[in-house]
Amino acid sequence: MQKVAFALDVKDGWPPVAVEHVWCERTGSIYQLKNAPYFIKLAVDDKFSAEPDAVNDCIFEFTIEESSGHSLVWVIEQNGLELEPYEHELFRLGCSVEGFPAFKLHSVDVPASAEHEAVNAIMDKLESLGFAMAFPVWRHE
């Protein structure tokens, strides 16, 4: 497993970093993502092809070669809300949660095996409570 750097397009201060490092397994020119990213529109276990830049070794563009069926949700705590009291509901569905405390940002991996209706219900609940949500890779229709 190796850390792979993705160059990010920062506009108006977001995302708050210019590069995101993620864990991947690599076989030839195919990478497989192994953790839920905060700013890259890939889901856990997606397989993608990319050519790292020769100068800085960052990936600027990628092509998904095989979808894992996982979904990716970004949750931002706002208005005094904290995700921690609700994490057990996500864990019960088989989700994993990673946190970026400096920006009150969480990345939620929703496995392909998670029950669609239950996943949609918890996401609707979090949105209704006032969490800022984004669904960059949503495969649980």
Q: pLDDT by residue (tens digit) across 77-135?
A: 998 999 999 999 999 999 999 999 999 999 999 999 999 899 999 999 999 999 999 99
Q: Between the CA atoms of 104, 36, 59 and 41, what dihedral angle is there, to the nearest 10 degrees?
A: -80
Same domain, 103 and 50: no
Same domain, 60 and 89: no
Same domain, 62 and 103: no
Same domain, 94 and 49: no
Domain that residue 16 falls in: 2-66
- Judge whether residue 140 has pLDDT over 90: no
Q: For the whole model, what pTM was predicted?
A: 0.90
Same domain, 19 and 61: yes
The Cα 132–Cα 79 span in angstroms is 10
For position 56, what pLDDT does the model report? 87
Same domain, 75 and 58: no
- Judge whether residue 141 has pLDDT over 80: no
Mean pLDDT, residues 58-71 = 94
The Cα 73–Cα 69 span in angstroms is 13
| Number of domains the chain is built from | 2
Domain at 86, CATH number: 3.30.70.2380
For position 57, what pLDDT does the model report? 85
For β-strands 30-33 and 19-27, DSSP reports them as: antiparallel
- pLDDT digits over 7-63, tens only? 998 899 888 888 999 999 999 889 999 999 999 999 999 999 998 888 888 889 999
CB-based contact 92:73 (threshold 8 Å) = no
Same domain, 57 and 89: no
